[in-house]
Every structure is written in structure tokens, then in C-alpha cells.
């Protein structure tokens, strides 16, 4: 693939036919069959040295993370991801790097039936930058937003939290299937994916829903990585579970009746009730005593 045109020829040869893709890579735009319901769109950019260290993790895991982080946002609205485009700034001489990156993107996209329909391949003197835009379709109940939680709602997460920096932030599976199965079973009133950290992302739900939340310390599912990290970090494993970013599990609110239903017959494995919504404030309850919880976790730089 000495020129972009050759790269596109290669990309085309690698791309399986998908009836939703009317025009694939190679023209000025890709063309997709119009979705039946609301079109979801999200974009995420990852930079070497910030979101990963290329020299340590290799391009394939970078490709996986870039695709998975975007699909996680589609999952957060209980949508079905359909297609993605990718733009990259490659360090010079990055031909093999580009192919490995592409294979990583495909590893994750193929697992949930997402078509890679186009992109923009550049090279430069800087470090690797990759930007993915994912498209999806809302479910029959519409997109799940952050603003529908109510006091009394049960709060759940889809899996263990904390310490993702040890590897999970590169190798996670976006909770696409889980979100669809959950939304088929009950009405998800508010949801987001845990990218900034549980407390920070839950705070987004509370701000948008104009309510508060109490987390039960004993109920928070703490990952093995959080425990491992706590041995050297000077923080507790619970601190890591509450504050670390990039777990990419889902946190969501459902009515008490639906919550009871989920507890009785969980439609997906790994589901844990971590607390409830209240009128105001963000609280951590330990042995029955409540203390105020400051939203922590990743603070966006700009």
C-alpha cells in the first residue's frame, strides 16, 4: 500500500460484503442504507503517550481500543452499532503499523457486526493519532440518555471496576450485547459507560437527571486489577473502583420494580446493584453510615 489508493484497494479486499453498505471504501464518501430509527453517532480520538504507549502495547491493541471505546458509547445509549470510519496520523514508515492497527479495529468491529466503511490515512513526523467515528441505530425504545433517573431508582453496573490501567483499558469488550439484552428486558432510565470513572460518570447521570445517588461501599464490584494496583498505589482497591477511568462497563438506573426483576433473573452475567438514586448529593454508604463523595476520576484537560 504505497499510496492511499493502494491501501484502499487492500482495505476493500479485506472487507466482507455487508448488505447495509451501499458504497464501501474508495469513493469520496461511503454510503449506507438509511437506518429505520434514530441514527447514533459518536467519535473518540486516541493519542500515543496519552491514551496508550505504542512502543509498549503495539498497534493491534491500539486499534482494538480505538474501536471498542467508540462502540462503548453506542452501547451506553443501548444502540446497535452498524458502521465506523477511521482516520489516522501514522508516524513515518508506518505501513505495517497501519495494517496491524486495521486488524485490531477489525477484531472488535467484526465481533459485533460493525462494517469499516472508510477512512483517511495520513503520515507525519508526530506520534500516532487515531480517530474513530462509529454509527449506530437506536433501539425500539429510543436512545437511552443520562437524564431519566429518578430518586428511588436502583443503580447497577455490568462488571468489576478499577485498575484498568493495568491492561483492561486496552482489552475490554464494549458492552454492546449487554446493553441490548438489558434494554429488551427492562426500561433503562439513564445510562452511561464508565470512561471517566464510576463516581464521575454517575455524577453525569445525577446532574442530567437532577437527582443524587448513594453507592453502597460493600456492593461495589472491585476488580482484581484494582486490588493489585492498591498494593503499590497508596490507595484502597475501593478508591480505584470508584475513581479509575476507562473501565468501560455500563452504569445505569432502573425503576425499583425493574431493578427487582433484574436481580431475580439477570439477563446478562456480571450485573451488580451498587446503590440507589436519592433526591440530591452523591454519597458513599459504608456499614450503614453515609459520607459525601466527591466526583473524581479522569478530569478532561480542556
Cα–Cα nearest to 157, from 140, 182, 187: 182
* 135 beta partners: 41, 83
Of 11, 62, 68, 77, the residue at the interface with a second copy (CB under 8 A) is 77
Q: Which of 11, 52, 57, 131 binds a second copy (CB under 8 A)?
A: 131
Range in contact with a second copy (rule: CB under 8 A) among 57-65, 122-130, 156-164, 274-282 = 122-130
Give the residue with the Cβ less far from a second copy, 70 or 164: 70
121 scored as a contact of a second copy (CB under 8 A): yes
194 binds a second copy (CB under 8 A): no
E strands, 147-294, where? 154-157, 190-193, 212-216, 250-254, 272-278, 282-286, 289-292
Interacting residue with a second copy among 90, 170, 229, 271 (CB under 8 A): 90
Q: Is 56 in the site for a second copy (CB under 8 A)?
A: no
Q: Name the one range near a second copy by CB under 8 A: 20-28, 168-176, 211-219, 224-232.
A: 20-28
DSSP 137-155: E--TT----SS---TT-EE
Task: State in angstroms the smallest separation of the CB of 42 from a second copy.
Answer: 4
- By CB under 8 A, tell whether 177 contacts a second copy: no
Stretch that binds a second copy, among 84-92, 252-260, 265-273, 284-292 (CB under 8 A): 84-92
Q: Is 15 in the site for a second copy (CB under 8 A)?
A: no
Contacts of 260 (CB under 8 A, 6+ apart): 154
63 near a second copy (CB under 8 A): no
Give the distance from CA 158 to its chain's centroid: 12
Write each residue from 206 to 225 as x if it is in contact with a second copy (CB under 8 A), else as -, in one continuous string. Answer: --x-----------------
Partners of residue 48 on adjacent β-strands: 52
Q: How many residues belong to the site for a second copy (CB under 8 A)?
A: 76
Should residue 42 be labelled a site residue for a second copy when binding is judged by CB under 8 A? Answer: yes
For residue 95, the Cα-to-chain-centroid distance in whole angstroms is 28
19 binding a second copy? (CB under 8 A): no
- Tell me which residue has cell 483517511: 120
The yes or no reply on residue 162 touching a second copy (CB under 8 A) is no
Query: Burial code of 67-99, b = ≥16 C-beta within 10 A, e = fewer?
Result: bbbbbbbbbbbbbbbbbbbbbbbbeeebeebbb
* 228-267 footprint of a second copy as x/- string (CB under 8 A): ----------------------------------------
C-alpha cell at 80: 446497535
Secondary structure of residue 145 in the 3-state scheme: coil
What is the residue whose three cell numbers read 491501501? 7
Residue 55 found at the interface with a second copy (CB under 8 A): no
What angle in degrees, to the nearest 10, is found between the helix axes of 4-14 and 95-111?
30
The nearest distance, CB 31 to a second copy, in angstroms, is 4
Interface with a second copy includes 17 (CB under 8 A)? Answer: no
3: three-class secondary structure by DSSP: coil
Examine residue 114 and tell whether it contacts a second copy (CB under 8 A): no
Amino acid at each position: 500500500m504505497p499510496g492511499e489508493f493502494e491501501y484502499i484497494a487492500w482495505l476493500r479486499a479485506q472487507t466482507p460484503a455487508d448488505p447495509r453498505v451501499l458504497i464501501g471504501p474508495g469513493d469520496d464518501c461511503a454510503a449506507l442504507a438509511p437506518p429505520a430509527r434514530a441514527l447514533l453517532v459518536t467519535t473518540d480520538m486516541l493519542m500515543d503517550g496519552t491514551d496508550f504507549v505504542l512502543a509498549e502495547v503495539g498497534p493491534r491493541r491500539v486499534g482494538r481500543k480505538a474501536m471498542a471505546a467508540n462502540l462503548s458509547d453506542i452501547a451506553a445509549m443501548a444502540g446497535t452499532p452498524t458502521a465506523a470510519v477511521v482516520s489516522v496520523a501514522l508516524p513515518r514508515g508506518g505501513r505495517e503499523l497501519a495494517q496491524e492497527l486495521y486488524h485490531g479495529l477489525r477484531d472488535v468491529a467484526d465481533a459485533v457486526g460493525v462494517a469499516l466503511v472508510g477512512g483517511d490515512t495520513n503520515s507525519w513526523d508526530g506520534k500516532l493519532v487515531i480517530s474513530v467515528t462509529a454509527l449506530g441505530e437506536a433501539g425500539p425504545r429510543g436512545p437511552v440518555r443520562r437524564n431519566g433517573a429518578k430518586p428511588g431508582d436502583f443503580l447497577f453496573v455490568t462488571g468489576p471496576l478499577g485498575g484498568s490501567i493495568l491492561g483492561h483499558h486496552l482489552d475490554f469488550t464494549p458492552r454492546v450485547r449487554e446493553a441490548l439484552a438489558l434494554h429488551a428486558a427492562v426500561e433503562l432510565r439513564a445510562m452511561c459507560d464508565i470512561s471517566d470513572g464510576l463516581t464521575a460518570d454517575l455524577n453525569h447521570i445525577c446532574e442530567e437527571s437532577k437527582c443524587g445517588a448513594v453507592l453502597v461501599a460493600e456492593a461495589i464490584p472491585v476488580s482484581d486489577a484494582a486490588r493489585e494496583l492498591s498494593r503499590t498505589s497508596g490507595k484502597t482497591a475501593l478508591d480505584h473502583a470508584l475513581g479509575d477511568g476507562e473501565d468501560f462497563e455500563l452504569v445505569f438506573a432502573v425503576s425499583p420494580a425493574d431493578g427487582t426483576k433484574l436481580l431475580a433473573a439477570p439477563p446478562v452475567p456480571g450485573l451488580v446493584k451498587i446503590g440507589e438514586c436519592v433526591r440530591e448529593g452523591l454519597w458513599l454508604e459504608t456499614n450503614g453510615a453515609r459520607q459525601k463523595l466527591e466526583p473524581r476520576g479522569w478530569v478532561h484537560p480542556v
